[in-house]
């Protein structure tokens, strides 16, 4: 009887822990991975120059794309300079783009880049892995006249 109660308690604990999914456990990127990729992207832009770096960042499945984590580079006017999930966005000004809740996240992002330099920003966006709109946190660092960003889905 005690053995079955202990087994039941262990099973209950395992089920409770399993009910709290972590992005790493389900294959999604972690905040540490996003921060590291942004720093790697900033270093790559500095060492290789903008043209070469933007081409590499915009290559889906390239060195700046990992599962649901990819880099996006915005000029501080909202123009997309590189996009790791959708190269068709390159050259488009998304300053007025809003998420499903009406948040002008690109405008906020470039304002935060100007004022803070590096920061985390929350909004909602389509996850490229499952095509669902999900809460997202984006880590960005200002580099010259641009913001280099990489995010995680929550």
Residue 27: its pLDDT value, please? 76
Q: Which residues of 1-33 are buried (b: 16+ CB within 10 A; e: fewer)?
A: eeeeeeeeeeeeeeeeeeeeeebeeeebbeeeb
Domain definitions of the chain by residue range: 29-153
The per-residue pLDDT for range 68-122, each reduced to its tens digit, is 999 999 999 999 999 999 999 999 999 999 999 999 999 999 999 999 999 999 9
The pTM for the full model equals 0.82
29-153: CATH topology: Beta-Lactamase (3.30.450)
Residue 26: its pLDDT value, please? 59
Contact call for residues 107 and 75 (beta carbons, < 8 A): no
């Amino acid at each position: 009887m005690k053995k079955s109660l202990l087994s039941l308690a262990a099973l209950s604990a395992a089920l409770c822990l399993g009910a709290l999914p972590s992005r790493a456990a389900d294959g999604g990127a972690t905040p540490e991975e996003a921060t590291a990729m942004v720093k790697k992207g900033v270093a790559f832009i500095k060492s290789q120059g903008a043209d070469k770096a933007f081409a590499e960042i915009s290559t889906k499945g390239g060195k700046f794309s990992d599962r649901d984590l990819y880099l996006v580079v915005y000029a501080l006017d909202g123009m997309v300079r590189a996009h790791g999930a959708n190269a068709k966005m390159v050259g488009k000004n998304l300053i007025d783009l809003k998420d499903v809740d009406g948040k002008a996240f690109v405008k906020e992002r470039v304002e935060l880049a100007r004022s803070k330099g590096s920061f985390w920003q929350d909004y909602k966006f389509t996850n490229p892995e499952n095509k669902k709109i999900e809460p997202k946190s984006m880590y960005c660092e200002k580099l010259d006249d641009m913001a280099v960003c990489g995010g995680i889905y929550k």
